[in-house]
Amino acid sequence: MPEALDPVIDRDPLQRELAETRARLAELKRRIKADQQAAKRAGKTRATIENPEASDWIWSAREIGRVVGRSENQVYHLYSKGYFRGAVWKFSRKHLVASRTKLAALVGKLASET
């Protein structure tokens, strides 16, 4: 039976190498995706719950004010005027949540504008 397939099968070594390279590329893509998913989950570990400084999230206007050097009321005012753009979100009716990395990028900008 294998002899019957010989005219159809290309036994070129480059084809075999190409197939192996494609398999390695697919494996690397799977590893990268798994690493990205692990990085997303890393922020939700017990260590970040016990140590809030390790987390990227800042909860409450008071804590956001500590990072940007403003009072709680000033943070609410700046948020309502749109100064924080994508760095701060409204979590509930009166609670704010911020990304520490995005706020760090905005701190210099806030100091120069106000």
**What is the domain count for the chain?**
2
> Residues 87, 113, 70, CA angle at the centre, nearest 5°?
60
Which range of residues forms the domain containing residue 109?
52-113
Same domain, 67 and 24: no
* pLDDT recorded at residue 68: 83
Of the candidates 94, 110, 87, 83, which has an alpha carbon nearest to the alpha carbon of residue 61? 94
Structure tokens at 29: 């893509």
Please report, in tens digits, the pLDDT of each residue of the chain (114 residues total): 556 656 656 667 788 888 899 999 999 999 988 877 776 765 555 555 555 555 678 888 898 888 888 899 998 998 888 888 788 888 877 788 888 888 877 776 666 665
> Residues 72, 77, 78, CA angle at the centre, nearest 5°?
95
Same domain, 95 and 63: yes
Same domain, 61 and 102: yes
Same domain, 22 and 70: no
pTM of the model: 0.49
